[in-house]
Amino acid sequence: MMLSSLYKRKLEELLAVCRKNLPECNEKLISDAFKFSLNAHRMDKRASGEPFIVHPFEVAAIIAREMPLDDVTVASGLLHDVIEDTKFTYEDVKAEFGETIAEIVDGATKIEGMFENYETKQVENYRKMLLSMSNDIRVILVKFADRLHNMRTLEYLNPERQVRMARETMEIYAPLAHRLGLSRVKIEYEDLAFKYLDRQFYKEISKKVIAKKKERESYVNKFIQPVEEAMDNEGLKYEISGRAKHLYSIAKKMISRGKSFEEIYDLFAVRIILDTDDRNDCFTVYGLASEIYIPVPERFKDYISLPKQNGYQSIHTTLIGPEGKMVEVQIRTRDMHEVAEKGVAAHWKYKENIHTNDKQMEDWISWIRELFDSTTKESTPGQIIEGLKLNLYQDEIYLFTPKGDLKILPVNSTPVDFAFDIHTEVGYRCIGAKVNGKIVPLDSKLKSGDQVEIITSKIKKPHQDWENFVVTHKAKSDIHKFFNLERRKLIEAGKEMWEKKIKKNKFSLSEDELIKLVPRLKFESVQHIYTAISEEKITTDELYEIVKDRNKLLNGELESPWVKPVERNIYAKIKEAEPSLFETYIKSARSTKNKIIAEGDVKDLMFSYANCCNPIPGEDIIGYISKTEGIKIHKKSCKNLSNLFLSDPQRLIDVQWPEQVEDEFFVGIKINGEDRPGMLNEITNVISTYNNTNIKSVNISSKGTLFDGTVILMVKNITHLNELIEKIKTIHGVFDVKRFEE
């Protein structure tokens, strides 16, 4: 195929980048792929109006320039849209370029749209598609380059697609790039997505960063000058530079700290890259810099001795520079910098067999496999995605076994997460834990450096409530898997008992016929019937007596003997306590979002929340049959409960929160601290920016240099409240924050 002068220049430009960045380059392979793609897309146009070939060319150039792997990946980038968008098939690409390139192109094609409308996809197909990423890491890297060019040209799409792609990039692609060590790509993803998700905020920060550029450069030069002199005196070879932090990270700081742009001091960072093979030189430079400027002790991180899971190594420290400004400094070797910027690409071995002996590469591949393999067949696509997000977003802590083995887990991990990380069976048999030699509750949050010992029993007995506090996807998935299996066992046992009963009585009733009887029997499903039999809530004799007259049951001539056995007890309690209001009690919950579950599965009862303790989801609760307001929901720790019990114990009933609660709940918090200018504004800012918390009222009073007050706000659950309290405690000058229950 003859190329025009324009396309000749484009091809030569790409080949020049490949020659510069790739250790080996099959120029014929790349030329052939360029021509094949040009021919396949010759009739196509981009949304910008440009010839379509511009896109695969840019994708290939990104791979060669920013993730320089090998010529196979560059060729795959040129061909990545051929199977999806043209008449050419997988077999055509395979015949022309071989199976490896065809597999990479096909894998990248399948990933397209994988996070869009995921609720409608078949779970098994979805899982297979995700796992294809780990068969050859080049699949996801081609997809990264494709997404990066699409984000750079997002302006040509309609607003709805802009927002959808920006959100998908922010939620999935950016954190996944981070986990694979591609920090440069991750930063650009975040800034480009931020630009379309909050245009006004983006413009505001961008304008201020540009306006401060000269001032920043002047300050950085002043900061680095004495550091350069000290390194020169030591005879070190280095590269030192200052840069503004990227826009999205500045926005996150403003939101999390509740501060304006002008109040954020650490807006820039200095990076020192050493041309050395001795990592100890990094610590030498840290020593030199910290003699010149005062370091902030709690902001020192040694990722050289303890690298991140994605292979990232560097020293991070914050120093107090001239004029008292905080400056973040990163110190690393040239090789460490390559890994920090290019991640997985920096480890590529340029071998035909992708399963190399490179441990870092194997760790990345096994991490992706484990991430997706840990989803159960019962998992919905939504659960898989949530698990994926959970694994991608969390920062890491470093923990040790009693033998000194290192475990890297997400921040806020508990001993139960640690147990499941060791092995699923250790998690199932976990009954306790020691942290640094002391026994701690299983929901305790672990900290970096903790030594954790798991205490196990011979009996496999995890607790359902563990799901409420574990944070790793593996722990959540394994616990979910265990209880699903237990439910299946109960269903199978109940079914077997029922089939034995009808066989013994020579009675014919198929499962389809039993399904038709379910509504008349007042059960939710056949599985619930089988479970009730297993748990001895009903007997096979009772069930047989009612279903043997199936026609009468279907015609309404026979009433089920159980509106569930437990329901009769509740109804009887209510009728006995308040006979005149009985009908009122049994009618209101259908119209509310929250359905308090009373003793078993009863949901349709009138209820209200007690003002004396204001219970919120996540707290243990109990119901009290009141005289006028339905069932009053109290916290089990409510101080009024003992009086209610003594006055009429028969009015108390067991209740629990449903799995999902959509409402928000009133709660009060007491705050006291130092009365300083801007304190009230800072408190309300932290509250309102955390999870969009709605403030209902604020009452603050000053006493000399101190203040105390109450804030009434709306929260979703106890976790929301506790996390908010912890956030407020971090405000400078706040002494104490606690719940106010009166």
Q: How far is Cα of residue 227 from the mean position of the Cα atoms in its chain?
A: 39
- 478 touches 427 (CB < 8 A): yes
In sequence order, what are the beta bridge partners of 317? 329
Cα three-residue angle 454-455-456, rounded to 5 degrees = 115
Residue whose token pair is 């008449």: 87
Active-site hit among 32, 84, 302, 335: 84
| Cα dihedral sign, 332-337-341-345 | negative
- What one-character DSSP code corresponds to residue 246? P
In contact, 218 and 349? CB cutoff 8 Å? no
SS (H, E, C) 262-316: HHCCCCEEEEEEECCCCCHHHHHHHHHHHHHCEECHHHCEECCCCCCCCCCCCEE
d(CA 267, CA 242): 11
Question: Read out DSSP for 510-535?
Answer: -HHHHHHHHHHHT-S-HHHHHHHHHT
d(CA 172, CA 115): 8
Phi, psi at residue 692, to the nearest 5°? 55, 40
Measure Cα distances from 89 to 86, 161, 406, 455 in Å: 8, 27, 47, 56
Are the CB atoms for 715 and 667 separated by under 8 Å?
yes
Residue 38 has a CB neighbour count (10 Å cut-off) of: 21
CA gap 459, 533 in Å, rounded = 25
Region at 86 (left for phi over 0; alpha for psi -120 to 50; beta for the rest):
beta
Is 155 designated active site? no
How far is residue 213's CA from residue 224's CA, in Å, rounded to a whole number? 16
**Residue of 70, 71, 85, 541 marked active site:** 85
- Bridge partners of 301? 316
List the structure tokens of 368.
Answer: 């992706």
Q: Describe the chain by its helix, strand, coil percentages, rounded to 5.
A: 55, 15, 30
Helix H or strand E encompassing 694:
strand 694-703
CB-count exposure of residue 668 (10 Å: 0-12, 13-18, 19+): middle
Which tokens belong to 685?
A: 């800012």
Place of tokens 């975040």: 190
Are 460 and 425 spatial neighbours (Cβ–Cβ below 8 Å)? yes
Q: Is 84 among the catalytic positions?
A: yes
Tokens of 48: 């910008």
| CB 380 within 8 Å of CB 409 | no
Tell me the residue type at 225. Q
Active site residues: 84-85
